[in-house]
Structure formats: C-alpha cells, structure tokens
Amino acid sequence: MSKVDDFRLRLGDKEYIPIMQGGMGVDISSSELALAVCKEGGIGHISDAMAPYVSDRKFNTKIQNSKQKQFKEFANSLDKSKVKWDYERSYEGTFKHVDSTMKEKSGDGAIYVNTMEKLTMGNPEETLRARMIAQMDAGVDGITLSAGLHKGSLSLIADQPRFNDVKLGIIVSSVRALKIFLRSGKKVNRAPDYVIVEGPLAGGHLGFGPDDWHKYDLKTIVEEVITFLKDQELDIPVIPAGGVFTGTDAANYLEMGVGAVQVATRFTIADECGLPAPVKQIYAQAEEEEIEVNLSSPTGYPMRMLKSSPSLSSNIRPNCEALGYLLDRNGNCAYHQAWDNAGVDEKGRKLPIREKMCICYHFMKYNTYTCGHNVYRLKDTTLTKPDGSFFIPSAAHIFNDYRFSVDHEIALPSAADVESAENAKALVKIGTNGNGGRKGAKADSSEEADSKKSDSGETAAA
C-alpha cells in the first residue's frame, strides 16, 4: 500500500513533498500556515485577497483608511462608479504581505500566492497587474491563478523579468476552462507549470453552476484533464483538490499519475491557520447537516459554508469606500441591490439579508464559515480536551499525517503534542493579550460595535 511520501512533485529543478496547502482568503491561509507547510517540504499558499487590509492589520499601514478618506463623498450613495482601487495601493498591500512572508521562509518547500481574478476592485486589469507584479517583486516562488478564467492575466505580466522564472499555475474545474487558459498562454508563449483541478467538494467558491455542482466528481474531471494533456503532448503536473481528506485519498490520486494534491479543510483547525480560535472550534464541531452550498457570495459562484455563518443574517451597509474589493469596473456589486431591496423593521432598520452578503466585510471578520464538504470529519482528526473543546493541532502534524498515513488512518495528536502546545500557549500569554494581536478574533459579527468605528472599513450597520 503506497503513501504520499513514496512520491515527489517535480517543478523545474525543484522537488517537493506532493502536498499543496490551498489558498484561503482572507488570510485564513496565513503566512504562518504557508510557512509551516513550506518548512516541511510542501507548497504553502498565502492569499492575495484583500492584501491592503491584511497589511493594515499586520504592519499598521493605513492603506484602506486613506482610500476611505479619498472616496468618503460616496458613502451615502449606491453609485460607486468612481470608487476604485489603484495600482499603488494594490501593489503596496500585496508587496508588504508577500515580502514579509518570503523573508521568513525556511525548509525545502515553496510559497505560492493564490490570486483571484474575481477580485476586480473597481479596476480589474490594473489592480490584477499590480498584485502579480508585487508578488514577483517580493520574490514569491509561484502564482496560482484562481476564481476566473484568467484569459488576459498572463499578458498583463508578460513583460516582467520574472515572467518565465516564477511558477505559474491555474485552478480549473473542467477541460473547457483549461483549454481557454492554454489558448491565452499561447499568445505570450507561456504554458502553465501546473494545473490544479478543483472538484465540487472543495471549500471557498466552486467553479460549477449553482444547480449542477453536485453532478460532478473530482476523479472523473482529473482523468479527463490527464487524458487531454496527454493528447496534446503536454507534460504538466495535474493537482486534484477538493475532498482529499486522508493520506490514502492523496496516495490513490498520486497512483493515478497526478503530480500532487491540494488540500485545505484539514488545515482550517491548524494552530497556524488565520481563523480566530472560536471559529476553529466551530469548524471542528461541525456536523454534515450543518453544511450548505448557497449563492450568498456576490461573485455569482456557489460557495459551501456552515449554515450558522453570521454573514447569512447580516444587514451591513456596503462600505466600498474603504473595501470595494469586489466592485466591477462600473462600480457594481451584487450585494448593493440586495441591501437596497431589504425590508425594514418598525424602527426603520434593515432586516437581515440572506440571499447575498457583503463578502468584503464578512471575510474581514471571519463571519463566513466556508469549508470543504469534509469539514464534519475534522472532529475525527484531533482530540477532545477535558473541557469539551477540541485540541488544535499544528500544521506540521496535519502535513505529516497526510505524508505518512496508510489505510485511511488519521494520526491523532499525541499527549506530548498536547502538552507542548499547552506550554507554548502559556508562554505566549505572558507576553501578549492572548489573541496574537489579531483583530476580529471572535465568532460573532458584532456589527453593533463595529458600527461605531469610523475607519479601516469597519463601519456601518444599517
């Protein structure tokens, strides 16, 4: 019986343990998580979603704040056509986030950035170009293009010195999407270095229709992609993602001839994961019937999440002056209409809006509990503490369980793991406020409190 460690992913002149930890925005796949995976010899993704916000929080920059000031006159209007992110701000936030991560890099793995096309920021091409250039300038090892077909993305950076040296990959959910990307690459003479095939059990946005996502299965799409690439005589590693929960799931794919697997949900309860501690407990406790795929994301893509996500009962006022990461080039976002149409209570306050969410605000606050279908199995991957809460394992433990396990067994953390983690936590508490300086480290939306703040995009319950 084979295990993941029997295989290696070869990209250029480098070899990796064939486990990619997938990008999870906003900063759920934190620098610490990606660095831990890299240290173990795998590929860790950070995400460039809302990087200016991440930079403001981590480095005390005032990027969102300065944008909010610039556009404050549009706060009371739903016409956001003039509210746009620009090259400089997008570059600055992304560069700071990626640069600080790369400076901490150790081990034989790599750090990639998940780069979403749907993050249109009122100014799609300029901001995407700025983000990708910032990533390369900051020395990132690879860029994974996601949430979109990326027909024009490669031409935006074809003139950059690192265009042929940085590893470039794309996430697709069909051969059709891959064909479109390969055609666009031909125009600039650049084939992808790897192709991630994401199936319907993944977390985050799904690359399928709202009504038909459940009709697809990952293994079939992976086989189709492998056959297509063989027919085209293209030797590009294929990397399945979505529902790979045990080392044996991964090894079975590796035996089919894939280059690596991409996984994420197992890492949502890792100590290094960016989710606040109470939210990690919510993920660890989840039951299968608490999961749904809905259309509340204004991107139009279906998204899987826990039904208890606070974003599903929110009435937050759009605050695109500071945020606005999802505005299209004309200043539209699908949440605007939903908010405008929402009914009011007897005091004139907006009623909760279920059909759409303000994704910027709620991802900033970790109020959307997006997850892969297997989230309900997380409880089987760790220990319960005497107080009933779940022990939070290290990313290295999860990584090495994927790497070495056989027979679908999942190695639980050992008593020694628990003891050393508890000791480390006690030491951390002496020097800090105990939440690692993370803002928004709470499980509820607390919109009332947030409505009193006036900057950094944290305003505005209706």
Residues lying near ligand FMN in the complex (CB under 6 A): 22-25, 28, 47, 49, 114, 116, 146-147, 171, 198, 201-204, 241-244, 262-265, 268, 370-372, 374
**Residue 37 CB, nearest distance to ligand FMN (Å)?**
12
**Residue 161 CB, nearest distance to ligand FMN (Å)?**
26
- Between CA 286 and CA 377 the distance in angstroms is 8
- Residue among 49 and 111 whose Cβ is closer to ligand FMN: 49
**Are the beta carbons of 77 and 335 closer than 8 angstroms?**
no
- Between CA 45 and CA 393 the distance in angstroms is 19
**Residue 374 CB, nearest distance to ligand FMN (Å)?**
5
- Residue among 441 and 460 whose Cβ is closer to ligand FMN: 441
Query: In the numeric block, which tokens belong to residue 182?
Result: 């390969």
**Residue 223 CB, nearest distance to ligand FMN (Å)?**
18
**Residue 415 CB, nearest distance to ligand FMN (Å)?**
27
Residues in the chain: 462
- Residue among 27 and 56 whose Cβ is closer to ligand FMN: 27
First-to-last CA distance in the chain?
58
Helix boundaries (H) for 73-144: 87-103, 124-137
CA dist list (Å): 52 to 4, 349, 410, 424: 36, 31, 38, 31
Which residues, 6 or more positions from 431, have their beta carbon under 8 angstroms from its beta carbon? none
**Residue 262 CB, nearest distance to ligand FMN (Å)?**
5
- What are residue 446's phi and psi, to 5 degrees? 40, 50
**Residue 377 CB, nearest distance to ligand FMN (Å)?**
10
Neighbours of 398 (CB within 10 A): 30
Torsion of CA 386, 387, 392, 393, to 10 degrees: 0
**Residue 33 CB, nearest distance to ligand FMN (Å)?**
11
**Are the beta carbons of 52 and 63 closer than 8 angstroms?**
yes
**Are the beta carbons of 273 and 33 closer than 8 angstroms?**
yes
- Residue among 22 and 321 whose Cβ is closer to ligand FMN: 22
**Residue 337 CB, nearest distance to ligand FMN (Å)?**
24
**Residue 207 CB, nearest distance to ligand FMN (Å)?**
9
- Residue among 193 and 455 whose Cβ is closer to ligand FMN: 193
Query: In the numeric block, which tokens belong to residue 450?
Result: 């947030």
Query: In the numeric block, which tokens belong to residue 35?
Result: 């660095």
- Residue among 68 and 246 whose Cβ is closer to ligand FMN: 246
- Residue among 58 and 317 whose Cβ is closer to ligand FMN: 58
Query: In the numeric block, which tokens belong to residue 440?
Result: 């928004």
**Are the beta carbons of 382 and 392 closer than 8 angstroms?**
yes
- Residue among 102 and 269 whose Cβ is closer to ligand FMN: 269
- Residue among 25 and 42 whose Cβ is closer to ligand FMN: 25
- Residue among 244 and 322 whose Cβ is closer to ligand FMN: 244
CA 344 to chain centroid: 34
CA dist list (Å): 316 to 160, 274, 311, 320, 451: 40, 23, 9, 12, 9
- Residue among 310 and 461 whose Cβ is closer to ligand FMN: 310
- Between CA 36 and CA 32 the distance in angstroms is 6
Query: In the numeric block, which tokens belong to residue 268?
Result: 């949502």
- Residue among 25 and 331 whose Cβ is closer to ligand FMN: 25
- Between CA 141 and CA 247 the distance in angstroms is 25
Burial-class residue 77 by CB neighbours within 10 Å (0-12, 13-18, 19+): exposed
Which residues, 6 or more positions from 89, have their beta carbon under 8 angstroms from its beta carbon? 52, 63, 66, 67
